[in-house]
């Protein structure tokens, strides 16, 4: 990164960006202080060198605030409590010694053991999987040079720019302390109060209100490192890098009504899906890609690459695939592995280094500190899921639950003993070497002016979505804000959205039956010329395959066994999972044989499947048409835009569910037309189907 002198210097704090104008004159005469009573002059920014330099360890207010936040709940994680993990490996597809000295990228074909934990952010350990939320995407790589943790999310940006605001963000989205609800939901006053006062959150809000926040499966979502890091090669040359995980299964989400229904039908839907996929041998895979760029690109880019509320569109800088992650083993014990795994952003290896991203700098302090509360000891690195797979040698001794004998006379270095007692020494050549860089500037609490544009990328994101996805974003904002009791908060949020897109705010306001307010003040002019970025859209970058998805076949006594068998065979052949649903769990009679089923109809709503087929007899369909659960199975599949294959004898059930004839995406199913149904399902949803909610 160019020295601070090469950047336009800030004229002062970005007050609109930090919400600081609301805190300069306390309404009741109270002055915010530390826990020790020291009055604070600025509660919005951490102390750093210059406008864009590193955060200083001497910032006692930052350290105290995060220290208290990290220890306020035990032993469950304060955030990312609801998680699920799996084992696997990373295989290097391209050697890149010119970019990094990291050992795992020196030879093509290198395999590195990995553990991945996916999670929601806001809910507790017992919350449902399909909450509208950011998903954690944390990868621990057990390299020959120590553990490397890439601790990211399924969205490439975040709500805040400075770690000093992280406790405030989480406190706002958690259950309100005076009433204890809502759980795992952002649709309430305190969250929208906070983010409406923090315009820097606007870009992330567009992502959170998009379909990215309700993924179909943990297997069908992208992962991002969020921050800008550095690659450093053996010659000490440095370049910036951003990390991407691209699912080879494609990206897919559910509709909001489906998410609500799934949480009631199967709150463990994501966990069950990942477990079942790995157990069946359908191992999920992601390509690890990087965006690598130099100082010249960073200086010329429209936004500050150290700002975690911004991204670099792939249309501007393509993602280069260098490795592939495969998850091939479920955990043996959820507590011992998924719950005790400890990720720390500070865990990097030679060849990787940090930048002055202020959110990353705060995370580097916070994550390690958190482990003491969660795991009870500084010796958490001895737990099998956290233990490095390479030799470990140091003079750290004792501590609660130390499992090793730790022999030897000297517990310090340097020492003059010989032999084994002398112990390890640092290696100037092989050891980790921090990139040498020059930092200068006054120590001040402020945001750099280059962090001040809070709306332009939010506008680019919204305008890059397909019309269908834009509809979903509008509906999500309207739903969430309708749950906000305080009208002033809704108005303030609408004022921020005026800066994003006129159509967006007008449609949200109309749904709420509220007037569109004047635009909120913006620190800098909002840009219109960022260009279209299809990579930001799920549907415009659509993955057309039904592999890894699930077909539910509703079958009754007397159904055509040939149609059933042909359908099962055709979908199994393309890598899909097929499950049978019967009127009762005891099975169905097909001719003289009894066919086992996986579910009874009253316990298997269609929201649990990606497409459905109706393979019934005439009498069986007539009987099901009298059952509410069967009618809802079909009606919901139709309303949720799923493809429906139906034999002719199932017409009574379609009529009972009020499915029109003909209807888009409802296909006739025979032994000869099964392949047509398979081909249609590759589109995943029939978006052309008009459905009135």
Determine if residue 157 is left, alpha or beta; phi over 0 gives left, psi from -120 to 50 gives alpha, anything else beta.
beta
Tokens standing for 609? 């499947």
Tokens standing for 547? 């592999």
- 465-469's contacts with Cβ under 8 Å and 24+ in sequence apart are 465/210, 465/536, 465/537, 465/539, 465/540, 466/537, 466/539, 466/540, 468/539, 468/687, 469/210, 469/211, 469/537, 469/538, 469/539
Please check whether residue 42 is in contact with residue 220, taking contact to mean a CB–CB distance below 8 angstroms.
Answer: no
> How many C-beta atoms surround the C-beta of residue 75 within 10 A?
11
Tokens standing for 332? 């043996």
To the query of whether residue 68 is one of the catalytic residues in this protein, the response is: no
Residue matched to tokens 């490192």: 225
> How many C-beta atoms surround the C-beta of residue 588 within 10 A?
25
The residue from 45, 87, 147, 153 that is catalytic is: 153
Q: Which of 195, 202, 134, 198 has its CA nearest to residue 456?
A: 202
To the query of whether residue 510 is one of the catalytic residues in this protein, the response is: no
209 vs 201: CA distance, rounded Å? 12
Tokens standing for 442? 């006054």
87 vs 111: CA distance, rounded Å? 13
3-class state of residue 165 by DSSP: helix
Tokens standing for 155? 């969205």
604 vs 484: CA distance, rounded Å? 33
Task: Give the DSSP per-residue string, 428-440.
Answer: TTTS--PPP----
Task: Give the DSSP per-residue string, 415-428.
Answer: ----GGGG-----T
The residue from 80, 188, 203, 454 that is catalytic is: 80
Element (H, E) at 252: none
Give catalytic residues, as residue numbers: 80, 153
């Amino acid at each position: 990164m160019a020295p601070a002198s090469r950047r336009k210097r800030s004229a002062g704090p970005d007050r609109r960006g930090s919400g600081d104008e609301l805190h300069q004159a306390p309404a009741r005469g109270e002055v915010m202080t530390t826990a020790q009573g020291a009055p604070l002059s600025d509660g919005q920014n951490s102390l750093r060198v210059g406008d864009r330099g590193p955060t200083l360890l001497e910032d006692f207010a930052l350290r105290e605030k995060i220290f208290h936040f990290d220890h306020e709940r035990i032993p469950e994680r304060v955030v990312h409590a609801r998680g699920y993990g799996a084992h696997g490996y990373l295989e290097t597809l391209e050697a890149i010694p010119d970019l990094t000295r990291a050992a795992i990228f020196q030879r093509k074909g290198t395999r590195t053991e990995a553990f991945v934990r996916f999670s929601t952010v806001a809910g507790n350990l017992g919350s449902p999987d399909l909450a509208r939320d950011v998903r954690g995407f944390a990868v621990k790589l057990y390299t020959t040079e120590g553990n490397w943790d890439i601790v990211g999310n399924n969205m490439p940006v975040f709500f805040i720019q400075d770690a000093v605001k992280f406790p405030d963000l989480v406190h706002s989205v958690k259950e309100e302390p005076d009433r204890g609800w809502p759980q795992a939901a952002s649709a309430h006053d305190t969250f929208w109060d906070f983010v409406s006062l923090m315009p820097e959150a606007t870009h992330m809000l567009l992502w959170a209100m998009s379909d990215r926040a309700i993924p179909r499966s943990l297997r069908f979502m992208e992962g991002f490192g969020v921050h800008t890091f550095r690659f450093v090669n053996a010659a000490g040359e440095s370049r910036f890098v951003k990390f991407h995980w691209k699912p080879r299964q494609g990206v897919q989400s559910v509709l909001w009504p489906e998410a609500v229904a799934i949480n009631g039908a199967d709150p463990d839907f994501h966990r069950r899906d990942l477990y079942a996929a790995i157990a069946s041998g359908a191992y999920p895979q992601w390509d690890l890609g990087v965006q690598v760029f130099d100082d010249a690109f960073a200086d010329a880019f429209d936004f500050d690459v150290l700002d975690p509320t911004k991204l670099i569109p792939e249309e501007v800088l393509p993602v280069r695939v260098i490795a592939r992650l495969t998850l091939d083993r479920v955990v043996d014990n959820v507590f011992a592995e998924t719950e005790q795994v400890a990720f720390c952003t500070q865990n990097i290896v030679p060849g990787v280094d940090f930048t002055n991203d202020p959110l990353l700098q705060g995370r580097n302090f916070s994550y390690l500190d958190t482990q003491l509360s969660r795991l009870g000891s500084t010796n958490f690195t001895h737990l099998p899921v956290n233990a490095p797979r390479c030799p470990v040698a140091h003079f750290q001794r004792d501590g609660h639950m130390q499992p090793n004998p730790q022999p030897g006379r000297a517990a310090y270095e340097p020492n003059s003993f010989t032999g084994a007692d002398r112990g390890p020494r640092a290696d100037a050549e092989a050891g980790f070497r921090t990139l040498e860089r020059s930092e200068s500037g006054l120590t001040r609490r402020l945001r750099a002016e280059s962090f001040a544009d809070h709306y332009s990328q939010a506008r680019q994101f919204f305008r890059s979505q397909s019309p269908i996805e834009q509809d979903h974003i509008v509906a999500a904002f309207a739903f969430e804000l309708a749950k906000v009791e305080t009208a002033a908060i809704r108005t303030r949020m609408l004022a921020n959205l005026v800066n994003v897109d006129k159509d967006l705010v007008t449609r949200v306001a109309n749904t709420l039956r509220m007037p569109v307010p004047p635009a909120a003040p913006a620190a800098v002019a909002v840009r219109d010329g960022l260009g279209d970025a299809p990579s930001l859209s799920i549907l415009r970058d659509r993955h057309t395959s039904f592999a890894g998805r699930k077909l539910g076949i509703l079958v009754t006594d007397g159904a055509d066994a040939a149609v059933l068998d042909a359908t099962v065979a055709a979908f199994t052949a393309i890598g899909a999972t097929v499950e049978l649903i019967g009127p009762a769990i005891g099975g169905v009679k097909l001719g003289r044989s009894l066919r086992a089923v996986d579910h009874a109809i009253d316990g298997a709503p269609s929201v649990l499947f990606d497409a459905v087929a109706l393979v019934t007899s005439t009498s069986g369909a007539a009987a099901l048409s009298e059952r509410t659960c069967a009618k809802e199975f079909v009606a919901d599949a139709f309303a949720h835009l799923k493809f429906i294959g139906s034999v002719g004898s199932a017409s009574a059930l379609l009529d009972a569910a009020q499915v029109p004839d003909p209807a888009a995406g409802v296909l006739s199913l025979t032994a000869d037309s099964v392949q047509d149904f398979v081909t249609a399902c590759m589109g995943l949803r029939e978006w052309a189907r008009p459905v009135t909610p």
